[in-house]
Amino acid sequence: MRIRHLRPVGYARDLVRREFKLLVTILVIVASLWTFLVLANAVDGGAIQEFDDAVLVSLRQAGNQEVPRGPAWLSEVMRDVTSLGGGPVIFLVTLTVAIYVGLHRKYQALVLLLVTAVGGLLLELGLKEFFGRGRPSIVPHLMTVNSLSFPSGHSMMATVVYLVLAALLAPQVPDRRSRIFVIAVALLLTFVIGVSRVYLGVHYPSDVLGGWSVGLAWATLCWLASWYIERRRTARGSVNAVNELQE
């Protein structure tokens, strides 16, 4: 009798937890899109330009803007860090994981990864062309760049790819602390990549914030779509199983 009473309670608890996660996911998408739109409006109207310039200047030595603040080795470290969000590294990481999940026939994970990465790249290129913001000129660049500035492609693609990889890996980890660690590493990685872009003088802070926000919105939206498809498929399978039993 006690077990019978506990089953509805456990089911209700799982339902509330699942719906709460769904609500949080939707709120993340809405908040991220709202943040991006606010930043885009500020960039387009020039309202944030003074702040952007002030941050870039503050990261350089007062007497020589070609020299960044901090120890001499920090510039080289930032170049290494920033490469983790560059096209070649993102491509190799995505390709390697795609081959791995494909070999293990995890086709839903494969589709999620490819749609998120390819769609994120197309979205990034489209947004850059739409806003057409030039690179910072108030301080010398510490590395060569050629593309447009808003939003930051490194920040956006790092957010998209590394967070999706964390979302795919976290459920495979047995304990909660390890899952939190996986997600924390992905967040930290995207953070330091974005910071490196500002430190090197190749992006305004608002470019990086824009890349983070739109990347988070896109990655979360793709994950939500994948979760919804899997949920519908599971529900359909359950209904079919019940119908077969009744027959």
CA-to-CA separations, 129 to 147, 151, 173, 219, in angstroms, rounded = 10, 10, 40, 21
Q: What are the structure tokens assigned to 183, written together?
A: 């997600």
Neighbours of 221 (CB within 10 A): 18
Q: Any idea which residue has 């769904």 for tokens?
A: 22
Measuring CA to CA, which residue among 99, 212, 95 is closest to residue 160? 212
Q: What are the structure tokens assigned to 128, written together?
A: 């850059």
The residues annotated as belonging to the active site are 154, 203
